């Protein structure tokens, strides 16, 4: 009875494939590292400069002034007692930054005296260089 050789991959061939895949992953992964934080920062900037800002401008247009610091951004969701002509809600949900914290709001602002300061404390959650703000 003749011996039949079964065709398959040898251990060396499999190891070469794993090494090649590992080398490709090692070349590609650094390009994607850090993109998640860049995306979060861009989302926070869009919220501050467009989404929440538009809601605050609509509130101001209806009521003649921006919500006070005490009323905060909650005034965009629920009618505060000081609102004369509230036509909200101006936002669909409570605004939280991409890191899960509420945006900071102060009116009148310390940096923008004519209207308001609106900012996120960024990744670290404390006032530092990574904050995303509506001034500068």
6 located within any domain: no
Higher pLDDT, 130 or 119: 119
- Domain total in the chain: 1
Q: Do the bridges between strand 104-106 and strand 117-120 make them parallel or antiparallel, or are there none, so unpaired? A: antiparallel
The answer to whether position 13 is within a domain reads no
* pTM check: above 0.85: no
Q: Is 7 part of a structural domain of the chain? A: no
| pLDDT value at residue 60 | 93
Does residue 120 fall inside a structural domain? yes
CA distance 133 to 3: 76
* CATH number reported for the structural domain that contains residue 107 in this entry: 3.30.700.10
At 64-123, the pLDDT tens digits run 999 999 999 999 999 998 888 999 899 999 999 999 999 999 999 899 988 899 999 988
Residue 3 has pLDDT above 90, yes or no: no
- Provide the residue range defining the domain that includes 43: 37-133
Compute the distance between CA of residue 129 and CA of residue 134 in angstroms, rounded to an integer. 14
pLDDT of residue 35: 77
DSSP at 66: P
Distances (CA, A) of 35 to 51, 105, 115: 22, 27, 33
């Amino acid at each position: 009875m003749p011996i039949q050789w079964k065709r398959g991959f040898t251990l060396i061939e499999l190891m070469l494939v794993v090494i090649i895949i590992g080398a490709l992953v090692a070349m590609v992964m650094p390009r994607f590292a850090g993109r998640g934080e860049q995306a979060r920062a861009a989302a926070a900037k869009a919220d501050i400069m467009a989404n929440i800002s538009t809601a605050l401008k609509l509130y101001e247009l209806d009521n003649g002034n921006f919500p006070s610091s005490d009323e905060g951004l909650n005034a965009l969701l629920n009618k505060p007692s000081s609102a004369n002509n509230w036509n909200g809600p101006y936002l669909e949900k409570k605004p939280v930054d991409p890191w899960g914290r509420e945006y900071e709001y102060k009116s009148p602002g310390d940096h923008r005296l004519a209207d308001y300061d609106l900012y996120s404390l960024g990744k670290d959650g404390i006032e530092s260089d990574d904050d995303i703000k509506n001034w500068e």
